Structures are given as structure tokens and as C-alpha cells.
Structure 1
Amino acid sequence: MAKAFSRNDRVSEQMRRELADLLMFEIKDPRVQMVTLTGVEVTGDMAHAKVFYAAQKNSKGLQAGLEKAAGFLRSQLGKRMMIRTVPQLHFVYDESIDRGMHMDKLIHEALSDTPAQE
């Protein structure tokens, strides 16, 4: 019987939880205070991890703050997780929330422009 989740999926989910905890309680940089981690994708060899994040307003300062904290976050992940290789962290802005809000706005505008049906 096949496993429900692969090892990469389990590592990715635990890494997302640990990173969220670290960003909330350990990082004191004001640029990264209001960030939400939406997902983590780990490569098959566990060498690299894409960390997807969303924020109220995306700014270059936020990306720079996350990249600056990457070394500290990686070292803390090594202490918290029981994996042999701690992946390099690459932060990617997740545009899906912005895209979804834009689509919702377009749908709302389209429905409000149509005349009421009897």
C-alpha cells in the first residue's frame, strides 16, 4: 500500500510550520513582521527549498529582510528538525492571493453591471 504523503511533503509541511514559528517569535527585523508562509517546496535531494510567502503589501524591503534572515533561519531549522541536510532557503512571493482578490473584484464588478433578472 502506498504512503499517503511522500517524505518531501512531510518535510515541507514541518519546515513551513517551523519557519512560521521562527519568523513570529525569533526574528526581530520589522520588515518581516507581517508575513504569512503559504507553502514550502523541497527538492528531491533536500538541497534547496522554495518558501512561498504572502504579505499585506509586497515590498523590496520584505524580500531583503527574508533573504538576510535566511542563514539564521536555516541554522535554527537544523537544530529543530531531524534531517541530515538542511536545504538552502529561497523566498518567493506568492501572487495567488493577490490574483484571487483581483479575480473576485472582477467577478463582483461584472455581476453588479448586469441588470436584475425577473
Structure 2
Amino acid sequence: MSVSRNKKISEEIKKIVSHIMMFEIKDPRVSKLASVTHVDVTNDLRFATIYISVFDPNHNMETHIDGLNSAKGFIRKEIGKKLKLHYTPEPIFKQDHSVEHGMHINEILGSLDIKHDEPEVDVDAESSEDTVDEEE
């Protein structure tokens, strides 16, 4: 199977699951401030690993994943309706740590004391070169 087809299917699953999380799941464990960051589909289209990130600091990620796992059958059925594939991929929900990792890297970079000043120019050195030229 071509990589571009896999990529297109992954993007479509991402759109479908994002829409389902926002508008169709009524479970209070599933936060409206969650998003699908990316989807990895196996080459045989049997499984789709869906990475989720929640932007609500008061929301527990484990309960969000539990809510999505309880709606897994509904989500798979909706994916199957909209994609019309021979096999409907089994969704596997995982927490995406890339946002937290990026924030951690940003904190580390912010804590460094790096000065971005222009290099200092020695004014005395420039004026002595001028006087040497004038003497000749």
C-alpha cells in the first residue's frame, strides 16, 4: 500500500474522530478541549492509533481515554460509514505527550541566560587604524 494513501486515510480518520469528540459523544469524561494530534494507521488498515491531547489543565487524561474507549464501538462504526474501506480500522487511543514535551523544552530554553547582543566593537582600535593611515 502506498504511503500517500495511508497518509490520506490517517488524515480522514483524524477529521472524523475530531468531529465525533466535539459534537457526537455525550460522555462527560470526554473533554471538549481535547484534540486529535495525529493518527497512525497500520499498512493492512486493521488498527488506527489515535493520539489525543487535552488542553484543559483540570481534566484528567486517563478519564478522557477511558471515555473514548467506552465509545470505541460507536467511533469505529462512524469511521466505517464515512470512509467506505474494506476493513474498518480498530481505534486505539493514546495520550500524546508532544505538547508537554514541547512546553518542557520551552521552559529549559527560557531558563537559559543567553544574550543576543551585537558583538562589541573596539572603538580605540578603529581610531588608531585611522591615525596610522593619516600619518602615511
TM-score normalised by structure 2 residue count: 0.76
Contact 2:61 2:95 in 1 (8 A): no
In the other structure, the counterpart of 1:89 is: 91
Answer yes or no: is 1:44 the counterpart of 2:32.
no
Change (3 A) 1:79 1:106: same
For 1:25 and 1:11, the matched residues in 2 are separated by 21
- Residue aligning to 2:73: 71
Between the aligned partners of 2:116 and 2:80, the Cα distance in structure 1 is 59
- In structure 2, the residue corresponding to 1:83 is in which secondary structure? coil
User: Are 2:16 and 1:14 aligned?
Assistant: no
Mapped to 2, the partners of 1:35 and 1:47 lie a distance apart of 25
Aligned residues: 113
**2:101 equivalent in structure 1:** 99
| Whole-angstrom distance in 1 between the partners of 2:83 and 2:115 | 57
Tell me how far 1:45 sits from its aligned partner: 0.4
Check conservation: 2:13, 2:79, Cα contact below 8 A: yes
Distance across 2 between alignment mates of 1:115 and 1:22: 47
Q: Check 1:115–1:38 CA distance in 2 against 1; reply closer, same or farther (3 A cut).
A: closer
Q: Which moved more, 1:77-86 or 1:53-62?
A: 53-62
Match of 2:34 in 1: 35
Deviation at 1:115, TM superposition (A): 7.1
- What amino acid is the match of 1:54? S
Structure 2: runs of 5 or more not aligned? 121-136
Report the RMSD for the aligned CA atoms in angstroms.
Answer: 1.9
Q: Distance in 1 between matches of 2:20 and 2:115?
A: 51
Q: Which has the larger radius of gyration?
A: 2
